[in-house]
Amino acid sequence: MYTLLMILAFVVSLLLIGVVLLQPGKGDAASGIGAIGGQFGSMMGMRRAADFIIKTTIVLATVLLVLSYAVNKFFLPSSGSEQRPRVEGAEAPTDVPAPTSPAAPAQK
C-alpha cells in the first residue's frame, strides 16, 4: 500500500509540474508553453482554458496534499512511540574510560 501511494504521489506531482508550466504568465495570456497553450485556447476559448488549468492545478495540489498526509499519518512511526535499542539484548556500558587531555606542546 505504501508503494502504491508513493507511486501515485509521484505521478500526481509530475502532472502538477506540467499543469503549472502550462499556465500563462500575467503578461502573455495566450502563450503558455508555445503551441500547447494555444491549443487549449483554440479548443475551449482562452478564458475557459485558463479556468480549466487553474482548477486542475488546485485539484492536483489538493490530491498531493492528501496523499502526503496519508503517507505520513499511516506509514511513518509516531514521535511518541517507544524507541527500541539498536542492538537487542545489549547491556549499557558501565565502565567508561575518563577522557584524556592532549599532551601540552613543549615550551622553547
Angle between helices 2-22 and 46-75 (to 10 degrees): 150
Query: Is residue 5's pLDDT more than 70?
Result: yes
Distance CA 83, CA 79 (A): 9
| pLDDT for the residue numbered 44 | 55
Confidence of residue 107 (pLDDT cuts 50, 70, 90): low
- Domains of the chain: which residue ranges? 29-74
pTM for the structure as a whole: 0.54
Q: What are 49-105's pLDDT values in tens digits?
A: 778 888 989 999 999 999 999 888 887 766 655 555 566 666 666 676 767 777 666
Where is pLDDT greater, at 35 or 99? 99
